[in-house]
Chain A
């Protein structure tokens, strides 16, 4: 299988699907054995891996829930003491929110998106794999800690000062902070990849107006992840630094404020639950359209509802903090916004009901779970609107009523849709049909169990039972209610176990399914089941009908045959590389051909070195951690390498493929897009840091009189000026971008980096007090550290790019990315220096 520099060799005859398959499979398949497991990067396999791991964590979290219910079934149970009980409920919440829900939706998105959009893979296969390894290792840290009896015990939202070093001296809190941050790297990777893939890797002619609805939902979700996760990442970093080095961010005695943690956490925490709900809603839209046998009504307004939820959900976070002592007007803002978000939600609910009403609904096991969704989520949404009302919230907050509400919306709004999605796509994952019988029984047990557990819990909360208590010996009025909840919990567990058995039966004993068993109209069903690693033997052309709203099942079958025969674009893999199409984000016009990396161990190794960093931090070996950072930088730099054909690695990828430029030769290729999207998340992190500074300087007690005369006179201002000048130089270097770096631009960039780093370090050395003395020094140091870290990131990128060019990476592909980071670092250096100067920090 040789490849040439210019146009392709004569393609395999288009009417020979078997030969096409052999050619594609040779390029796209994973390696055998354990090497294959470690080196896998293909979206289908990684997506399934995410979902299976998530389900395992769901089972673990479920067992923890059962232990909680055993303890609460009677008023003074001696089953576990309060110290273990505190670990139980903390781990239950942490596992369910971070190690089940997010990875589950990531897995479904990674598996489905390329198929639904007529592509062969996601934009960054190695990043997908890195995401899974970070998730697996981070989760393992938490599990090992749990088995060792040092699981986090501060509640899944880890409020300070309870979670600071004074009140939680053990490593429990560090396990949470470090382990969860490790897992969040996975979420950011997924968010970047999902965004770029949806915008750029669709079938030719699939304009944004014809984007499948599931992809719209995932685009909104990814946007929320990019903006919503960084506040928690920042908060976790600040708290871990306070615990490790005693910097005073959250200590009110030293100018910090424990409420800062709550703001940072809930700025993440509220969007988090919509991040969890939106993909489920996307899956529901797809399934309801299929079972109603007509497209979803109100398509345009549902897209509007998605973006309305994306934005509005960022204005609700304080409703988790209604009782901390905020004046009425501020509470009223958040109360009103929290009620508002019910509107886009109800738009979707009524659109779904309207679709069923005006269609020809037919019954199926997924529809049974969808019914469970309606009956559960709507109730949860209504109690949510009740909780948005401040006076009621003041009674119900932190009681079992909130526990009941959150389980209704999460089980109703995520678990039931996921059960429906699993049963719906199980023929896709496995290629086999369901085994009749157990599915409905499993559903009914789960349904009865969920309502049995949580319906009466509303009353339990209104009768005064708080959250997170392990015994209630003085309240006989709660006994029967808790017993009912515990019995319900066991029924639910039995139901989930039966569901797992049912899925196992389908996987191992189900009969082979025919194509498109549900008679759906979306592209994911236009392939063999289970699908080949490359999804489609050829990709849809602009003149082929790909819109799920106009396709019929029979035309979809014809399209599937056409594509399998190689009559679409990029048929086969004649150049020996993994290819998929890059299009213009809005019009869908073909722009370039993405050449994607194949099996590699790099993501696993990178995750291991990142894990080394986190473990060193956990153990308190801070110098080892610093060395690990250098190792991580080095291994990340090694990712920049040219993509070589899989069969014959001595030949190179051609510059054009089927008349389109190949992505390694593009200026605005996938690297440029991914970097831009990552910078959105970075901006959110910096904005959160600025918010922390503003919040502490205005609200935190103890800032008056903390300003001391600086003994260095005018030098600190001079250092800030140097930083600002460095920032301006970098901004110029970023704006003055060329196809290849000129000596002038390089000099500008290096001068800028040096100035920013030197100015920041000098400014830090001349602070009037240490970060452990007062929060003002801590936030000053935090901003300066952010700038120094970015200067170091730039340095690493330059070195990596230089090495990359030496081994064959095109300069045009790296210059755009460098320009972005020059510009960004320049901007934050200017803003940071300004903020420090103005606030006289």
Chain B
């Protein structure tokens, strides 16, 4: 019992980190984390099944009886049931879950407070966008209100980069000529680390930024610094 507890504490500790997708700090990242955990369990079970069957197959030494009829039966068992029906059923469930979890990741309400994140090989720049499209003052940290969903409009001024704050949400690329709108939300106030997640040349490994989530009272709505 103590070993289990220790083991799971160790596992939990191993999952911590400022850039860890396994330590979610917002609803988008959290739903993906739960989804991922479920997939890992199912994948583990599938792996055990396949390898178990393989191991048993190697140990058996007997030839199947029944000649032709036997082989058709065997074919149906292995190829049709295990090879087709089993994966199709699992995949249908997976597809449904994928669509459902996926919907929560997209911007569906365009009237949320918006910030523009401009990526370049020199680093990240952020500025709030007013509802009239006018850009506020530029900072090098993204400051958002905690507990509220926020849209980040991601643009690039040179090559393709990627905006990624793993503890809050998945990543969205910064493509020159194509602004992308991305939904993030931080549950609690604090600093969340982000990094560029698309190879962009020599400066790629140092291209990081911070997202500061401020307490809701006196929060910064779109348009105010």
Contact = CB atoms under 8 A, between A and B. Distances in A.
B112 interface: no
A504 interface: no
A167 B91 contact: no
A468 B36 CA distance: 24
A462 B203 CA distance: 22
Interface stretch (A3-11, A138-146, A324-332, A491-499): A324-332
B84 A347 contact: yes
B197 A354 contact: no
A309 to B, nearest CB: 13
B222 interface: no
A701 B180 CA distance: 13
Contact of A342 (B60, B77, B91): B91
A837 B63 CA distance: 68
A170 interface: no
Interface string B9-30: 0000011111111100000010
A159 B43 contact: no
Contacts of B203: 82
Interface residues of A, number: 86
Contacts of A297: 71, 74-75, 78-79
A681 interface: no
A161 B160 contact: yes
Contact of B105 (A374, A394, A463, A465): A394
- Among A358, A391, A459, A701, chain B packs the most CB atoms within 10 A around the CB of A391
B171 A347 contact: no
A298 B21 CA distance: 42
A359 B51 CA distance: 17
A472 interface: yes
Contacts of B162: 323, 398
A339 B94 contact: yes
Contact of A374 (B54, B83, B94): B54
A253 interface: yes
Interface string A308-331: 000000000000000111001001
A44 B147 CA distance: 68
B173 A323 contact: yes
- Among B43, B47, B170, B177, chain A packs the most CB atoms within 10 A around the CB of B177
Contact of B199 (A302, A346, A354, A467): A467
A161 B51 contact: no
Given A162-B200, A354-B75, A335 B98 contact: yes
A259 interface: yes
Interface string A187-223: 0000000000000000000000000000000000000
Contact of A398 (B35, B75, B198): B198
B17 A463 contact: yes
A379 interface: yes
Contacts of A517: none
A590 to B, nearest CB: 31
A159 B197 CA distance: 14
Contacts of B198: 159, 323, 398
B160 A159 contact: yes
Contact of B173 (A302, A325, A339): A325
Interface stretch (A34-42, A380-388, A620-628, A804-812): A380-388
B216 interface: no
A649 interface: no
B204 A464 contact: no
A482 interface: no
A384 to B, nearest CB: 10
A470 B202 CA distance: 10
Interface string B77-114: 11110111011100100110111011111100000000
Nearest to B49: A378
A259 B75 contact: no
Nearest to B42: A382
A642 interface: no
Contact of B94 (A346, A389, A477): A389
Given A252-B177, A259-B178, A395-B32, A350 B83 contact: yes
B58 interface: yes
A347 B83 contact: yes
Interface string A332-352: 100110011011001111110
A272 interface: no
B76 to A, nearest CB: 9
Nearest to B86: A346
A356 interface: yes
Nearest to B43: A382
Contacts, number: 264
Given A259-B175, A378-B47, A360 B74 contact: no
Given A391-B32, A392-B39, A477-B17, A298 B78 contact: yes
Interface residues of B, number: 86
A294 interface: yes
A167 B74 contact: no
B202 A86 contact: yes
Contacts of B200: 162
A769 interface: no
Contact of B63 (A252, A294, A478): A294
Interface string A754-773: 00000000000000000000
A346 to B, nearest CB: 5
Nearest to B82: A350
Interface string B178-211: 1010000000000000011111111111001000
Given A398-B162, A472-B205, A258 B82 contact: no
Nearest to A358: B64
- Among B47, B77, B78, B195, chain A packs the most CB atoms within 10 A around the CB of B78
Contacts of A325: 172-173, 175, 178, 180
B91 A397 contact: no
A463 B24 CA distance: 11
A346 B53 CA distance: 13
A385 to B, nearest CB: 7
B21 A397 contact: no
A171 interface: no
A475 to B, nearest CB: 7
Interface string A139-169: 0000000000000001100011110000100
B31 interface: yes
A301 interface: yes
B83 A349 contact: yes
Contact of B78 (A259, A354, A361, A375): A354
Contacts of A258: 160, 175-177
Contact of B99 (A155, A332, A394): A332
Interface string B125-136: 000000000000
Interface in B143-190: 158-160, 162, 164, 166, 169-173, 175-178, 180
Contacts of B171: 323, 394-395, 397-398
B122 interface: no
A383 B43 contact: yes
30 contacts: A159-B198, A161-B158, A161-B160, A162-B160, A253-B176, A258-B177, A323-B171, A324-B180, A335-B98, A340-B91, A347-B83, A353-B50, A354-B74, A356-B57, A357-B57, A361-B57, A374-B51, A378-B50, A382-B47, A385-B94, A388-B98, A389-B94, A389-B98, A391-B105, A394-B32, A395-B166, A398-B198, A464-B17, A474-B18, A701-B177
6 closest A-B pairs by CB: A394-B170, A252-B177, A464-B19, A354-B78, A325-B180, A469-B205
Given A161-B158, A323-B170, 13 more contacts: A82-B204, A252-B176, A258-B160, A301-B75, A349-B50, A378-B47, A389-B97, A398-B162, A464-B18, A464-B20, A467-B199, A469-B205, A470-B205
